[in-house]
Structure 1
Amino acid sequence: MGNTTGDELLDAHQIHEEFGISPSRLSELYRDRATTNCPEPDEKNGKRRWKRRTIAPFVETYQASKQQLSRANPNHPLLAQPRDTLLSTSQVSKQILGHKSTSTVLAWLVDSPGYFPDPDVVESTPGGRKRRKWRVDTIADWLADRPGPGNPLSKTGTPKTSPPPEDGDPDELIDAKTAAPILGYSSHLQLNRAIARGILPELMEPDEVIPGRVTTYRWKRARIVDLARARQEAPSSAELAERRLNAALEALRAAGSTPGSVTITHLAQTHPGHGSVIAWESSLAEAHRQLDVTG
């Protein structure tokens, strides 16, 4: 096999031969690298190539996730209950998803933002522990439309799309059904789930809320188009992280004695396409640490 050290460079086809991930799947994981944590190639000379020591740990995590998801039971009796019934972490993780412990689901929430839905209810015990609960419909919907193993976004989460339309009044208020195709989502349900899971913090505060039997949220067309364009032009994950940190540092310096006024939502809205809620939280926390040290 020639050079089989950790420094050997492997292209997509060699990775397929050695690890079993198809070139198309690897391309999807790399495309969504901001949330899949797929590493940057060590070489981009006409085609992407990774050192074995770079790609191997990611592949192991991916394959473990694939095996874990294969145990899930979308027909479990717990999911036959009324859709607003709350399920505990143990019920979701052990009984429905088939894990031996709850640690996998909890790790998903921390390490793969957007992959697994955030709990619908979080309670604190007198001792300070958190009790997380999910509605039956939250878990059932995720199982029905769950992303591929190791990929926090569904294959339609960030598809190749046409450039966002330039026509239309930029101040026009549009709902999720109109915004979804502009952002590359196949339905308003997928878009709403992405917002609820913190994947699109830019849209967490709508421009208009229309109450009713089903609450409708609407955003200015300009916000949707700007976000779509930013997502299409997203740079590497490392560059995005640097941009988020710089934005957070600038905002905190501008806030002066009121650092609490700097919010994730505001940062995301002023820098569309730069990452999820958890990504921004990490960058803002790092900015606070840096300023505490230098200040």
Structure 2
Amino acid sequence: MPSSPERARLVGTGEIGTEFGIDPDLVSKYYADRDTTGFPEVAGTQGRKRLWEHGAVADWFALVGTAEIAAEFGVSTETVTHWYKHRDATGFPESVGSRGRGKARLWEHDAVAAWYAGQDETRLQQAGRAAGGDPDELLNATQAAHLLGYKNANQITTYLRDRPGYFPDPDVTEELGTPERPWIRRQWRRSTITAWAADRPGSGRRRGSAPPAPALPEVSPEGDPDELLTVDQAAALLGFKSATSFSSSLSQGNLPLLKETDGILPGARGRARQAWSRHRILEQAAQRSGRGRRTSSPPR
């Protein structure tokens, strides 16, 4: 593809996250797992910040794999494989490449979307349900991960730990084991997982809209200056529209006074959450607005 200033423009994780509707941390994970994901190599650096050519990143996002097609169109990965395997009969588009060590097939998203638009949606959805199984079937984390195209349950565990409210709560939660060795079994209905996959942030970028971010809490600047506040509370005090935009700005180094946390608080399901003191957040707010002078230097 011909080079242009726009394609050659260098972008970091924050800019990529904003444009394509995903968490900047997920961009870093795509890069860390590039042997599997095929994410582009770094084209440059700015300090410790990695930078990529915008064109290469845009090309990567324009290609979709089996799991992404299944998620967007609400069918199982088995159904997508069936469409491709029998493409002489179904007319499903040819693969245009592969990604990662496993050589997972890739398709142009626009070609798949155009093909799907010309099909009988009712028939396709019925085929998807037949291949995908009972929508009321209960799946554990490993089975849900497999349905979503993940290697194992680690991605779901990460969602539950680091992004409360992003991944759906289990439909069934059971406390099992013994008092000495308790454990919790979490299960989701197949329909819960497929509904989330179809509407999750990231897939929505190709449909022209993303689900609205959870509303931030109302947080007063008054109160104990040493009280620890979590990400969503800090985002609210600083005037961000969402916790994700706060995290993106933080990762880009735009909030130097909050580079280091002041503590850790228990979050949903007992998971640890980053926290900052109210007075530090307010100092950062004053610096952002220009109303106050910085009282401390950002960590180097």
TM-score of the aligned structures, taking structure 1 as reference length: 0.37
Q: Give 1 or 2 for the bigger CA radius of gyration.
A: 2
TM-score of the aligned structures, taking structure 2 as reference length: 0.37
Larger fraction in strand: 2
